[in-house]
Amino acid sequence: MSVLPCYNTAFRYLNTVGVTDVQTIINDLYAELVTNGGWTCTIGGIGSSPTEFKSPARSDGAFFTINLTRTSATRLSWIIKDQYGILVNNQTTTKQDIDAGGSSIDYFTGPMHVCVNALRATPETMHCGMAEQSPEGSDSIPYAVIWAHRGPRNDAGTLAADRYWSNVFLRLNGATTYYASAINSIMRGRLTNARTRSQTIAGTWQFFPLEFLDYSNYTWMGRAAQCVLVDQSQFAAGAEVTVPLGGAATGVFKVEGCLATSGLRTAWRKG
């Protein structure tokens, strides 16, 4: 079995401890994305707020941008837009908090994905990206699928949607209002809605890609890069697990802090 292309993309991992000001998150992302990751900075930069990052363009020119604003020392605001400048993350901004006394922050990044996990008592996670859509080629699909997590906090700063499945992307019919009108979901039909042990008959733990599905017409839309679904009963937030990726290839993934849903959590690649 060959490795899925969603696990052949570039990836980086960084952990910074004792973060007391969200400007550190902006600065760390500049280093991970721009200095080391092939992204460009279109607004601001190190020490600046707001700062905007632009992902590397796909072969057909598709990209997405992440605009980060330091609302306060402990609150970061996210705005994700597609290559047309259309807001993706379903509200004016998505907010993410850290602890005034300091939080440990995990960064999982690459040309097609960004995940920032604030390891608080109740972790706060934000992630977004461009779906990997193989075996479809960019010349045979209607558009790139840019997706964004709706959590953790809404415009008012209230914890609202910090579950991994609560993602938004443009539905297949192409109506731009769909970014802002409804929650789109993930392909989780392999398991029931109850907590389930995702094992084979032989007892081997199963891991699945995070795949997006437009439930308005049951259309598969793509996969998140460098992300796997893991069983919530076996893998707690913060756990690290070695995942078989195909053939002799393996990857080390760390479970993020989003709340579990349908018996599953998400984990992002760190090694």
Q: Supply the pLDDT for residue 185.
A: 59
pLDDT tens, 7-40? 999 999 999 999 999 999 999 999 999 999 999 9
Q: Give the domain ranges of the chain.
A: 7-269
Residue 170 token pair: 């443009």
Please compute, for residue 17, the number of CA atoms within 13 A of its CA located in the half-sphere on the CB side: 0
Hey, which residues does 229 pair with through a beta bridge? 208, 266
- Lookup result for tokens 């209002």: 177
Q: How far, in whole angstroms, is CA 116 from its chain's centroid?
A: 8
- Over the stretch 36-56, which tens digit does the pLDDT of each residue have? 999 999 999 999 999 999 999
Mark residue 88 as left, alpha or beta (left: phi above 0; alpha: psi -120 to 50; beta: remaining).
alpha
Which residue is it, tokens 């706060």?
Answer: 124
Residue with tokens 């990751």: 37
Cβ proximity of 67 and 13 under 8 Å: no
CA 141 to chain centre: 22
Task: Tell me the average pLDDT across 240-265.
Answer: 83
Query: Do the bridges between strand 208-214 and strand 219-231 make them parallel or antiparallel, or are there none, so unpaired?
Result: antiparallel
Q: What does the chain come to in residues?
A: 271
Q: Between the CA of residue 204 and those of 200, 208, 228, what are the distances in Å?
A: 5, 13, 16
186 burial level (CB within 10 Å; 0-12, 13-18, 19+)? buried
- State the Cα–Cα distance between residues 224 and 209, nearest whole angstrom: 7
Mean pLDDT across 239-261? 84
Q: Are 116 and 125 in contact (CB under 8 A)?
A: yes
High-pLDDT (> 70) share of the chain, %: 80
CA neighbours closer than 13 Å in the CB half-sphere of residue 140: 5
**176: its two tokens:** 């731009």
Residue 157's pLDDT is: 87
The answer on pLDDT for 177 being more than 70 is: no
